[in-house]
Structure 1
Amino acid sequence: MSGLPININDLVNATTVESERIEYKESWNPEDIMHSLCAFANDFHNLGGGYIIVGVAERDGMPVLPPKGLLPEQIDTCQKKLLELSNRIVPSYFPVSSVEFFQGKHILVLWATGGDNRPYKCPKNIVANPVYNHYIRKGSSSVRATPDEERQLYELANRIPFDDRINHSASIEDLKLPLILSYLKEVGSELYHRASSIPFPELCQQLQLIKGSPEYLRPVNVGLLLFNNHPTNIFRGARIDVVRYIDPIGDELEERIFEGPVHVQLRSALQFIQNTIIAERVRKIHNQAEAQRFYNYPFAAIEEALANAVFHRSYELNDPIEVNIRLDKIEILSFPGPVPPVGNEDLKKDRIVARSYRNRRIGDFLKELRLTEGRGTGIPKIRRTMSVNGSPNPVFETDEARNYFLVTLPIHESFSPLPAIPDVELSDTAAITKQILNLCKTPHSRSEILNYIGTNTGAASYRKYVLPLIQSNSLRLTIPDKPSSKNQKYQTTEEGEALLHQL
């Protein structure tokens, strides 16, 4: 019966889990499997452990399909031997085992998450009086740790990633079954069909959402972040603040706060940005049948940048993720900065290879939900989508102390707030610009200007017709030190006179 919170087809084909975190075994090989369990438990790079798939052969790191599979009696033998292998690892380590039916065959999947009691070691060989070694993952192989790597393992002993730590101030009742069921259904896990019929603590253990002794089971932080209705009651900064600036000074702005399970707030914030910010334009090319289409911001770049912020930020801090939508750019700010040794110079490279991750399990959940891709792919994807859209290059930065991580996505130049001057004949916008500049040769108020051109006097009309002229210095404020003054008026400048002459 399936006990995995993951789609088995995606797992076997390494669609949502990186191939280096999957080990395929055509048959049961106890020593190799023990070494791999030990290596995944040590989780040297804080990647979240991995999976051993027994009954599927491997060629060049990829599965050979259809699978060879296992006979029922072989599965029973493997599961009995697994208990023996788990007790040979020091300290004892027990993975989640699940029998899966895949492409007409039974296979055994061992889900080995990063252990809480690392470093782990196990026998080199299954013999009397064996030699014990520490094992770690290097690429897609489990290898014996060098003396220096053993030293690093001991340094990692007390550094369990925050999202995988037990939360002693919460209880299992803080995990909500409807949210868990919704997740299992969305990712296509076979566990969804049994989830309502098994004891809730058992379900949570199969999902690795709780830890502890039977008499003291407590949720881990990742469970509270994804499967609690109000995680901000536990983690104050677990939210996304989206601020849209109406004017260049910042006196007028709109703010939206997104809370709830982190994957829900991520989707809600992205939906808001897609519905209210993203705009498309079509440019016809002379002597070319196909028109050119582009956006002020490619949505895929925003999606990846914000998902990366949710994945890599620290939930120990009270600072929320900030999305600042300015007139000429979008800034996505999260705290703190990248995990050392990644710094500003690394952020300029096409691909970043990090040694460890702040949240080893949040990323797995986001990938299962198709909200982010594999580790190390975020920055290349953002750069690629900005380039394909014809947008300026994105900027990634942090400070020397890595206190923050800032992603800046500049607006496409065709959506620049500066007013455009048509080459041949006046567009509607240019005609309105001419009306405003003529009117404001003598100072007029905002409402007088908008009434004069025959539009409503709301903020949207101000942003569309008046604000670009202020930004291009075609209009000046008569009370510049108090932009929102009720007595504020606007007057045509010398630059405005020159633009008027061109029009």
Structure 2
Amino acid sequence: MAIPVNIEKLVSGRIVESERIEYKKGWNPAAIYRTICAFANDFENIGGGYIIVGAEEENGRAKRPITGIPTEQLDAIQKEMIGYNNLIRPYYGPKIDIQTLDEQNLLVIWVPAGMDRPYEVPENIKAKDKKHQYYIRKYASTVRPGKVELEELFNLANRIPFDDRSNQQATIDDISPSLVREYLVTVESELLDEFDKVPLVEIYRSMDLLHGSDEMLFPKNIALMMFNFRPDKFFPYSRIEIVEFPKGLGDPTFYEKPAITGPIHIQIQKALEQLENIALKEQIYKRPDKAEELSVSGIGGDGSQ
């Protein structure tokens, strides 16, 4: 998968902060996987980071011209990574891309913040006796967290509810602008005044629908639940099914209503409308002291008012 940024701009530090980039002159899996683990844990919530293999660091930038990686090593490294990824607990697979700079090969390992953090990895991923450890980024270094930091890492992960987590299987384009506009109209938000004046990404940020770094933003689960016409594409079985038992639950006669799909808040609205139609009954009866028939609507259909 291609990285979402230009390699020249990346190594020059023009679009990504230096603490989010780690340079490695050569393939050193033990050190590299400790850093992968640290970026995936995203202790500071800065959006993960990048590991540039094939370039030395010089004053926080890539030393030019870069040394690169021999072409014949690239396939072997990628095959090794498949096995090493399985040693991260829980499983985590960074994204890799082969880029060319100064006519040399670079292996770019892109590590977005993981959804299942905290992660741990063997201290030396090539050692026979593998001892798993947690790692975080502190400034521009990969370190093992202290006791307080480790507790904070676990608490950080536990504090993120499902609907507030980023969904890395989706993109900003999966958010429907029309559904967002319709929602802002419904709630009478002042943000509607800015809708056609600023980029959509700014509207989405204001509504707290996005997560991630500037160069690669992901929609949160709540954004896909509410502002995508087919949320079941991302969350299977996200629909409402209503079954009516007209003679009571003990009777084998029942009717299945068509499944209600679409944005979650619209599903709830339609479900309430269906339930109201099922519960409200009309019954015509004669009162002893009145000659004319009366039509009375009530809950339950038993004639009570």
The root-mean-square deviation of aligned C-alpha atoms, in Å, is: 3.1
1:52-71 mapped onto 2 (5 Å cutoff): 52-71=51-70
Pairing 1:7–2:6 present: yes
> 1:69–1:106: 8 Å Cα contact kept in structure 2?
yes
Question: Deviation string for 1:193-231 (max 9, x for gaps)?
Answer: xxxxxxxxxxxxxxx4x1xxxxxxxx36x4545xx4435
Deviation, structure 1 residue 264: 2.6
> 1:241–1:258: 8 Å Cα contact kept in structure 2?
no
Match in the other structure for 2:178? 230
1:147-296 mapped onto 2 (5 Å cutoff): 147-160=147-160, 165-166=166-167, 208=168, 210=169, 219=170, 222-225=172-175, 228-230=176-178, 232=180, 236=184, 241=190, 256-259=193-196, 264-265=199-200
Pairing 1:361–2:254 present: no
> 1:24–1:52: 8 Å Cα contact kept in structure 2?
yes
The one-letter code matched in structure 2 to 1:264 is P
Taking structure 2 as the reference length, the TM-score comes to 0.62
Deviation, structure 1 residue 5: 1.8
Question: Deviation string for 1:65-119 (max 9, x for gaps)?
Answer: 1111111111112111111221111111101100011121111101100001111
Judging changes above 3 Å, is the alpha-carbon distance between structure 1 residues 103 and 236 closer, same or farther for their aligned structure 2 residues?
farther
For structure 2, which runs of at least 5 residues remain unmatched after alignment? 218-305
Judging changes above 3 Å, is the alpha-carbon distance between structure 1 residues 70 and 147 closer, same or farther for their aligned structure 2 residues?
same
Whole-angstrom distance in 2 between the partners of 1:105 and 1:18: 24
Whole-angstrom distance in 2 between the partners of 1:18 and 1:160: 25
Give the structure, 1 or 2, with the largest relative contact order (CA under 8 Å, sep 6 or more).
2
Whole-angstrom distance in 1 between the partners of 2:142 and 2:66: 22
For structure 1, which runs of at least 5 residues remain unmatched after alignment? 167-207, 211-218, 243-254, 267-306, 317-358, 367-503
Whole-angstrom distance in 1 between the partners of 2:68 and 2:99: 10
Pairing 1:132–2:132 present: yes
Match in the other structure for 2:245? none
Taking structure 1 as the reference length, the TM-score comes to 0.39
Deviation, structure 1 residue 3: 1.1
Match in the other structure for 2:271? none
The one-letter code matched in structure 2 to 1:6 is V
Whole-angstrom distance in 2 between the partners of 1:52 and 1:239: 45
> 1:118–1:157: 8 Å Cα contact kept in structure 2?
yes
Match in the other structure for 1:405? none
Question: Deviation string for 1:139-194 (max 9, x for gaps)?
Answer: 1111111111111111122345977523xxxxxxxxxxxxxxxxxxxxxxxxxxxx
Judging changes above 3 Å, is the alpha-carbon distance between structure 1 residues 77 and 64 closer, same or farther for their aligned structure 2 residues?
same
Judging changes above 3 Å, is the alpha-carbon distance between structure 1 residues 154 and 128 closer, same or farther for their aligned structure 2 residues?
same
Whole-angstrom distance in 1 between the partners of 2:78 and 2:188: 42
Pairing 1:100–2:93 present: no
> 2:88–2:119: 8 Å Cα contact kept in structure 1?
yes
SS of 1:230's equivalent?
Answer: helix
Out of 195, 208, 212, the position equivalent to 1:315 is 208
Identical amino acids, percent of aligned pairs: 36
Deviation, structure 1 residue 265: 3.9
Match in the other structure for 1:146? 146
Match in the other structure for 2:17? 18
Match in the other structure for 2:237? none
Question: Deviation string for 1:242-272 (max 9, x for gaps)?
Answer: 8xxxxxxxxxxxx944259xx7347xxxxxx
SS of 1:31's equivalent?
Answer: helix
SS of 2:108's equivalent?
Answer: strand
> 1:24–1:54: 8 Å Cα contact kept in structure 2?
yes
Judging changes above 3 Å, is the alpha-carbon distance between structure 1 residues 241 and 259 closer, same or farther for their aligned structure 2 residues?
farther
Judging changes above 3 Å, is the alpha-carbon distance between structure 1 residues 223 and 138 closer, same or farther for their aligned structure 2 residues?
farther
> 2:38–2:134: 8 Å Cα contact kept in structure 1?
yes
1:22-101 mapped onto 2 (5 Å cutoff): 22-101=21-100
SS of 1:88's equivalent?
Answer: coil
Whole-angstrom distance in 2 between the partners of 1:365 and 1:112: 11
How many residue pairs get aligned? The number is: 214
